Chain A
Amino acid sequence: MTAAQAPSIGKAASTPGGGLLDWLEGALPKIVVAPTFISALVFIYGFILWNGYLSLTSSRMLPNYHFAGFIQYATLFANERWWTALRNLALFGSLFVFGCLAVGLFLAILLDQKIRAEGFIRSIYMYPMALSFVVTGTAWKWILNPGLGIEKTVREMGYPHFNFDWLVNPEFSIYTVVIAGLWQSSGFVMALFLAGLRGVDDSIIKAAQVDGASLPVIYWRIVIPSLRPVFFSAFIILSHIAIKSFDLVMALTGGGPGFSSDLPATFMYTFSFTRNQIGMGAASAMMMMMIVVAVVIPMMYSELRRGRHD
């Protein structure tokens, strides 16, 4: 009854100039959303397309638009430095992602044991996330600097042969990036897992206790499998951080020594903006996007399909 009347009342009240008001009412949501939508369209998808085209040209210092086929990709994959960056990405990505998951889960389980001062400890673990990667990188550069940080301290404590020079050792420089990355992100992963653990029904754990399971077994066989969606979210977030990692490497090692700790993102920056190879930089950027797509899309697809069945 009221629902049937409402439109006619609305119409009667807005007869003079009502056409404009009515139009505005319908269009307002679209008008509000439009700027975001248009900027996303132009600055994300438009630039992806532009970059995609640049990667197919022979651009050097300035963009040019002469189609040159896949020549940039060919030179990219012939470049030893690009392969170093890819190897580093594989190493850094897997250690960083799985390291963060392992450390975060472990910390979350410890914190979930109804301990005292939990809020305080949780904040301590979460704080690194509040820093920017540049700050983390700079701080760890000092800590890991052989003449300044850990190595010097331990030597002064009376162990003159102690060696910890990963930061300046081309063989190990990428691992310093892993250490700093772990330190920064595992607290955040811990918070994700802790939220997941808190969502586990208390009586499930009691039931398992009555069933005779010990605490490690309860975690391993019941609690952790039920955290599957959290693993998924954490994996997606961490892997895109890993693939896009730029500021951490720049601040910590600057890609060095030499180019031993280069990642695709630093490679892309170096070639596009300091070595006047815009075409090749664009090609490497396209490859990075492909990697993200290749890692994330299949996982999302399988996980969302599962979600519908469960």
Chain B
Amino acid sequence: MGALSIRNVRKSYGSQDILKGINIEVEDGEFLIMVGPSGCGKSTLLSMIAGLDSVTSGEIYIGGRMVNHLSPKDRDIAMVFQSYALYPSMTARQNISFGLDIRRVPKAERDQIVERVAQTLQIQHLLDRKPAQLSGGQRQRVAMGRAIARNPILFLFDEPLSNLDAKLRVEMRTEIKLLHRRVGKTIVYVTHDQVEAMTLGDKIAVMRAGEVMQFGTPRQVYDDPANLFVAGFMGSPSMNFIPSEIVTLGGGIGLRMVSDGVTQVLPLNGAEAKLKTYLGKEVIVGLRPEKLTHKVDALCGMPHIHVIQSLVHVAEPTGPDTLLLVRINGKDVVCRVHPDHARAHGENIELMLDFSKVAYFDPQTELRIA
């Protein structure tokens, strides 16, 4: 059994269901991300793993041990909070050693652990300061030090980077990743930031309204979203959803795409079988912005590449690439184009649609068709 196993866990306050049957398995040493918009229940689930919130039904196992009725201190976990939650009247050193002190670790050993942790996090020079004398990033380090010092089998992180400014957040993200590699312990990490989720996680659980919408590796979640929600939530700028009608094309079926009055029917590559029942109906075509780019002659003619003409409505240079807004089937569609090939607004551009990673969704059920 893995480090953490969540089995059919539910949480309700009165008649209101906060979590509706969560199942997650995490292997030893894995980095699990729970991501979702606010109110999806991810923080509640984390509190339940920590033992700060009760479980309505279902079981939580940590290291193979059922912990439903254990108090937080007996679960062998450590937690890092969004607000850092450092003890204000203690120095950084006392903050880090408090948990050890409570567990009656001898003083000499305690000092040794604090020293080692401080070295790992490079906070030796801060040990005698009070939290109020530390900057946000430094407080975050001390809070992580407090967690590491206890050497638990499971680390819980509750949106630890959301109080930091953008630059520091990227730095700390890398550090958390390095730390995970060095410590090698299982981490459960809650965030609402899909970039953090993609960069840090070994496994991602995308949650909405108390349900896990998809559970998988970052690649699976990004390339093979199970439904419209996951497809739209992961990735920035988010995936384009183009409603298109399935029409007959030659002997088979194709997608009707209308851009600025020009109608084109694009063949479906290998998805005909699953889309046949939708003939004459609309499906939602999910295409990531990076799959809509300027025409590259060398790639044209490959079966999954299609070229359409479009009028640029808005051009937004971001530096590495320029985002162009075009209209297809009445929807605004974002294309990611190399700046050298970008066009200004009002001009026409030949766009290359790469259907190799295309996803089709049912507009009613919002589930993936193919």
Contact = CB atoms under 8 A, between A and B. Distances in A.
Interface of A: 201, 203-204, 206-213, 217, 221-222, 225-226, 228, 310
A203 B82 contact: yes
A207 B133 contact: no
Contact of A203 (B83, B98, B150): B83
B130 A204 contact: no
A212 B73 contact: yes
A114 to B, nearest CB: 14
B50 interface: yes
Given A210-B77, A211-B102, A212-B102, A310 B132 contact: yes
Interface stretch (B85-93, B268-276, B324-332, B336-344): B85-93
The size class of the interface chain B forms with chain A is 20 to 34
A222 B101 CA distance: 13
A272 to B, nearest CB: 46
Contact of B81 (A203, A213, A217, A222): A203
A210 B73 CA distance: 5
Nearest to B78: A210
Interface in B207-261: none
Contact of A212 (B85, B99, B133): B99
Contact of B103 (A212, A228, A310): A212
Contacts of A212: 72-73, 99, 102-103
A294 to B, nearest CB: 28
21 contacts: A201-B85, A203-B83, A204-B85, A204-B86, A207-B86, A208-B87, A209-B52, A210-B52, A210-B72, A210-B78, A210-B99, A211-B98, A211-B150, A212-B72, A212-B103, A213-B73, A213-B98, A225-B89, A225-B90, A310-B130, A310-B133
Interface of B: 47, 50-52, 71-73, 77-79, 81-83, 85-90, 98-99, 102-103, 130, 132-133, 146, 150
B83 to A, nearest CB: 5
B353 to A, nearest CB: 48
Contacts of A211: 73, 98-99, 102, 146, 150
Contacts of B150: 211
B156 to A, nearest CB: 8
B42 to A, nearest CB: 16
Contacts of A310: 130, 132-133
Contacts of B83: 201, 203
A226 B89 CA distance: 6
Contacts of B47: 206
Contacts of B71: 209
A244 B102 CA distance: 45
A201 B139 CA distance: 15
B85 A209 contact: no
Given A310-B132, A310-B133, 7 more contacts: A207-B87, A209-B72, A209-B73, A210-B73, A222-B87, A226-B88, A310-B130
A310 B133 CA distance: 7
B50 A210 contact: yes
